[in-house]
Every structure is written in C-alpha cells, then in structure tokens.
Amino acid sequence: MSDHEFTDDGEWLDLELKGRAAVEGETLTLFPEREEKNTRLDKFVASHIPDMSRSWLQRLIDDGNVLVDGQVRSRTFKVTPGQIIEVAVPPVEEDELLAEEIPLDIVYEDEHIIAINKPAGMVVHPAPGHRSGTLVNALLHYAPDISMAGSQRPGIVHRLDRDTSGLIVIGRTDVGRLALLEQWAERTVVKEYEAIVRGVPEEQEFAIDAPIGRDPTQRKRMAVIQSGKDAQSFVTVREAAQIASFVDVRIETGRTHQIRVHLAYADFPIVGDRVYNRFGGPAGGYSPLADRQMLHAARLVFRNVAGDIVDLRSPQPDDMQAAWRELSEASS
C-alpha cells in the first residue's frame, strides 16, 4: 500500500521508483519464452526488470509506454512467445519542491488529515509546465511538517483535474495518508460531484458502467475502451433546461477523467469541457458561459484516523451558478 497513491479518486500512481536510473530514458526489448505463455503483461515485464517497482511498471503500461508488437495493451494482456515487447522508460524530472505562500480554503483539519476546497485553475501537484503555484507548493508552506513519504506529491492520495473545483483530502502524516489510502482501496469513501451537461437525459437517474483507458489514437485523452479499467458512475438529474441539465454524479471507482469521459460517452458532455465536449453553442465545449469544465467535487465522506465519520460539503462555485442561470434563462 505504501508504494502507491490514488488519482482522480482511485487510480493507482507510483510513489517509489526503485532502480529507475538503470533504465531511465532507455527502451528495452523483451521476448516471451515458451514457459511465459499467458503471463500477464505487467507480471512479465516485472520479472524481466526486477529492480523496478511493480507499480512503476504498471504505470508505464497504463501510459502507453509498453508496446506488444507495436500496439498498446492493458496490464492484464496475456503475452505469447514470438511477440516483441518494447518498454520505453521516460526520463523522470526531480525538481526541488518549493514552499509557496498561497491561500488555501481549509474545510477540515486534524493532526493527521487536511481537507481543502480547491479552486478551479489550481494544479494539484508539480508537473512539467507547472512547477509552482500548485496545491502541493501551498501545502508545504501551510504545513511544513507534512510527511514527504519519499514523494514529489506529499500527502496526495487522490487528485482533481486543474479545472475541476471542490474537495480534496490530504494525508498530513504517514498514519493519515495510509488511513485514507485504505479507504480508497476499499471503496468506502463517498464521492459526489455536481456538473452541468449538454442535453436532457430521458431518465431521472441512470448508471454508466463502461471501462476507461488511454485513448489509443490520442494519448492525452481517455476513452471508453474494452481493454480499459472498470468504471461506474451514477447520475441523477437535479434540474433540466431545454439544452442543458444540472446533474449530481456519484462515483465508486475513480479513473482519470472518469466523469468527463462517462458523461460524454452517454451523449451528455460537460459544458465547457474543451477536450470531451465537441459541440458548439452555450452548452458546448467552448461555451461563452464557461471558462472551464463545469464540474465540482461537492461532497466527500471518509473516516479520520480516530474512526469518526467526516462528512464534508463544498458550496457550488459562483461560475457554475452563473452558467446555469444563463442556460436556464435561455431555455425559458
């Protein structure tokens, strides 16, 4: 458990890159032997690169850096003798994390855990192109005692997209972080979102159960694909206008861009989502009413280290209220 963290409420991310210097920036070519037939791709690669953590290798596969005969495959793909497995290990940038005095909206805090209402536009942790101004930079200033856990993402156990607003919880200590990780792994955390979508669903409540993985043709996007990871979203229509709806979404899994991908897959893309909403007009991806995707992490329920239930709610942001008001009035 300690080698991982979660992203977007559930997807594993690596925290410990054992032995990466030996192959960093290289491409390794592997050939399955007869006795390795039907071995899972992640297990096969791990057996050939034993000095690297299994989680890091799984991440390489999920990011499309492991090819089987030139094709991206899932970590559960079964290898066969005669195939050529290419493992491209990208260079990893290790920059010093800087503490920055950035205002934080703290909604819950104890000795082990901090919960924050993240504004839209704030990146959660440093990455290429975003080395400062992130939530992590702010946390290092606010809580200089936060456990680093050998990571460039201290305390982070799940993640919100830059332009998604709302609740995010941080493990301030190793004890707090591990307590949160366990709850995410067991899927006991309540995660509820609000979104404004294009179109009006016929049903008041419906579920979307469709696997999500890296888009094989556009690597920066996610998509519903057969080889993806299981993903379930539960949608309730709160209000409906002529061209748009205000919906509540509860997720039990947490895949990268899950809600955005699922709603687009169901033909109700999120207003202002320039990646997954390809429509024009006020309810489109480039809506004049929205400077970002209209998605908000509104509620988060978990247990603290003492075992007490923490039920957090975040008010609807002003920009979502304004966008919905305009869409509603335009439909009346």
Q: Which residues are catalytic?
A: 161
Pick the closest to residue 12 from 226, 254, 222, 183 (CA basis): 254
Of 264, 269, 296, 328, nearest in space to 119 by CA: 296
Residue 167: φ, ψ to 5°: -80, 135
Strand order in the sheet with 66-68: 27-30, 85-88, 66-68, 71-72
Q: Which two tokens stand for residue 135?
A: 């939530």
The DSSP output letter for 128 is T
Closest listed residue to residue 330, CA positions, set 274, 297, 289, 277: 289
Tokens 């335009």 found at: 330
**Residues 211, 231: Cα–Cα separation, whole Å:** 5
Tokens of 104: 């934080």
Give 22's DSSP letter: G
